[in-house]
């Protein structure tokens, strides 16, 4: 298994540009999420999904859109990039709560996308 993959690894945008960060997992996980991590800070939840077709907002959803058309993919769209969105973005996945806490709480994280907005 490749686990959780994220593309691109690095990206530089200009203010106002839009882009999509890709996230894919091959573990048949129902739960997927996006976090951002600013330099020297903790992780903040942007959006999450408990299954295909279902998404919800996390702590810091403004400026980001998500969709979940398949179990495997959970792309994150920046609508109009701003310098405040300069951060490292991590995608994570896990089994659903129906699988029990032992599987649900073990999230697998991708390697991250480092985004700079000028």
Partner 1 sequence: LAKTTQPISMDSYEGQEVNITCSHNNIATNDYITWYQQFPSQGPRFIIQGYKTKVTNEVASLFIPADRKSSTLSLPRVSLSDTAVYYCLVGYNTDKLIFGTGTRLQVFP
Residue corresponding to tokens 């800070």 = 41
Q: Contact with partner 1 (CB under 8 A): which of 50, 61, 67, 86?
A: 50
By rule CB under 8 A, what string of x and - marks binding of each residue 61-90 to partner 1?
-----------------------------x
CB of 14 to partner 1, least distance (A): 24
Report residue 92 as tokens: 């994570």
What is the helix (H) or strand (E) element at residue 104, kind and residue range?
A: helix 101-104
Q: Which stretch binds partner 1 (CB under 8 A): 13-21, 34-42, 69-77, 79-87?
A: 34-42
Q: Across 14-79, where does the E strand assignment appear? A: 19-25, 31-37, 43-51, 54-57, 64-66, 76-78
At 62, is the secondary structure helix, strand, or coil?
coil
Binding site for partner 1 (CB under 8 A): 4, 31, 33, 35, 41-45, 48, 50, 56, 58-59, 90, 92, 97, 101-102, 104-112
């Amino acid at each position: 298994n490749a686990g959780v993959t994220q593309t691109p690894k690095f990206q530089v945008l200009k203010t106002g540009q839009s882009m999509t960060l890709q996230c894919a997992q091959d573990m048949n996980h129902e739960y997927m999420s996006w976090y951002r991590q600013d330099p020297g800070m903790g992780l903040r939840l942007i959006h999450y999904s408990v299954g295909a077709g279902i998404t919800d907002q996390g702590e810091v959803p403004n400026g980001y859109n998500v969709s979940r058309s398949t179990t495997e993919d959970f792309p994150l769209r920046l609508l109009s990039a701003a310098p405040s969105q300069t951060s490292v973005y991590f995608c994570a996945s896990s089994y659903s709560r129906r699988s029990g806490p032992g599987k649900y709480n073990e999230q697998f994280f991708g390697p991250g996308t480092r985004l700079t907005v000028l």
